[in-house]
Amino acid sequence: MPDPTRLPSWSKLAAHAEIMRGVHLRELFARDGGRFRRFALHFEDMLVDLSRHRITEETLVLLLDLAREAEVEGWRDRMFRGEPVNVTERRPALHIALRNRTNRPIRVAGEDVMTAVNAVLERMRRFSGEVRAGVRRGAGGAPFTDVVHIGIGGSELGPRMVCEALAPYADDRLRVHFVANVDPADLSLTLRRLDPGRTLFLVASKSFATQETMSNARSARAWLVARLGEEAVGRHFVAISTHRRRVAEFGIDPADMFEFWDWVGGRYSLWSAIGLPIALLLGFDRFLELLEGAHAMDRHFAETEAVRNLPLLLGMIGIWYTDFLGAETTAVVPYDQTLHRLPAHLQQLEMESNGKSVDREGRRIAYPTGPIVWGEPGTNGQHAFFQLLHQGTRLVPCDFLVAARSRTPLGDQHEQLVANALAQASALAFGRDETEARAELRAEGLAGADLERLLPHRVFPGNRPSTTFLYAELTPRRLGSLIALYEHKVFTQGIVWNINSFDQWGVELGKKLATRIRPALEDSSIGDADPATAGLVAHLRALRAAS
């Protein structure tokens, strides 16, 4: 594909953006009384409000023209067929197969992958059921009460986010803990409150060689062996991996190894055996509901016409802000405390996928790609970063996620929460102009110089865009569809930017350098390290010697 900036619609969008820079959302709503209805889209019980974006129907026409010229729908169809859309690694990207609840055949090298997918799902069903029922027990005969999932990156962020988001659906049979950081505090503080005889460990590493994961796994193993003996390892550890030999060498029976495949990227893997902690915490039926929600969004993305296709439209609106209106970041603000890890999961999904400066043909690119993704639950964020959103100098599109019903009702607190979410989206869009601010100050009893002094500080420019996702309740099905929606949004943007959203070579260099630096922390030789690193290592060694 050519540089997208050379496509006919790109230049038209650039010209259109110059016009839209001077248009305020107040003006757009004032001249179109049906704007909300026209820009509100529906998926099952979820309404997605696009009306508070700095767009018109002409904007959407041009953006969809760009998607068509970039062949987004063609690439989408190739992904669903199992073709190698991961061009640098020459692999398919088949997370959609993991939640393919219609069981439609998806072939890779002539083989239907659904046979293997369904076999692993059945093993997950049996295993999670046995652990939850107390049939599978520890070495001393006690049922498990705690599960420690050891992984990192996509092997931890996704399942942890889901477990915490769906915690209201959990019973008291098991507690699930996550350890990712090689910082010893992460594992040590987790283990200090656990009974080894009642603790089950899941070690998630495709190669069973991921440095951080295996360091934590070996330390957890040593902790268990010191208390229960070597023979307990096989009863208390299972593996989520593809490397049978390394799993067996660790002391885990390969029969307790849950496979996944090289066509599943880490950040897309929660739908696979990496999701085993979800099934253990919630029960396998809830895990299937999660898959069903994602599959429903897959079908929507694959089958819905462009003008109503949520992932396609959200992806293209993101491109509008990133490439034509100069936005560098996106804020994700779930008005749901249980979704506090969603921004972190989406950081990896978007920034690892589309944080690229080389296109699919290996050419350097000069246009902006993936935005910086960040966020925090509301209402906490209102007392932290919302000042910048409202009155700062940067354009930051926001995503608000709101449930109509609370799963943990307490007095009128959910009503307060929802009111804040709706109010913040409104305030960002419409702001408060000088006339309104002046009237408010006068109502507070201010006049003269005091009023004029405060007036500039009480003006809110507005015209700050947002998407509001409003749904009945955060069920496993709804969460599954939301995650899949973001996945397909990222895919859409990667195709338009002509980059490969499914590799992550950028994480490799630092890892390789760390293996070279590690011996130098205890040895005087630092080799050919840069002067700053050499100086830091020398000072670190001096600090240790002085203590």
Active-site residue (options: 352, 356, 414, 487) = 352
Rounded Cα–Cα distance for residues 105 and 22 (Å): 51
- Residue 53 a catalytic site member: no
Catalytic residue list contains 89: no
What's the sign of the alpha-carbon dihedral 302, 308, 310, 315?
A: positive
Contact predicate 273/260, CB 8 Å: yes
Beta bridge partners of 470: 47, 402
Which tokens is 425 given?
A: 């989206």
One DSSP character per residue, 499-534 reads: --TT--GGGHHHHHHHHHHGGGGTSS--TT--HHHH
Residues forming a β-bridge with 147: 176, 200
* Bridge partners, 403 (sequence order): 471
> Per DSSP, what are the bridge partners of residue 375?
332
Contact partners, residue 469, CB within 8 Å, separation at least 6: 46, 47, 48, 399, 400, 401, 402, 482
Bond into 190 cis (ω within 30): no
Does residue 383 have an active-site annotation?
Answer: yes
User: Exactly one of 383, 440, 473, 539 is catalytic; which is it?
Assistant: 383
CA neighbor of 350 nearest in space, from 333, 370, 380, 331: 370
Contacts of 94 (CB under 8 A, 6+ apart): 79, 82, 106, 108, 113, 261, 263, 264
CA distance 490 to 371: 11
Phi, psi of 362 (to 5 degrees): 85, 10
Helix (H) or strand (E) holding 131: helix 114-133
Distance CA 70, CA 1 (A): 7
CB neighbour list of residue 546: distance below 8 Å, 6 or more residues apart: none
Q: Active-site residues: which are they?
A: 352, 383, 511
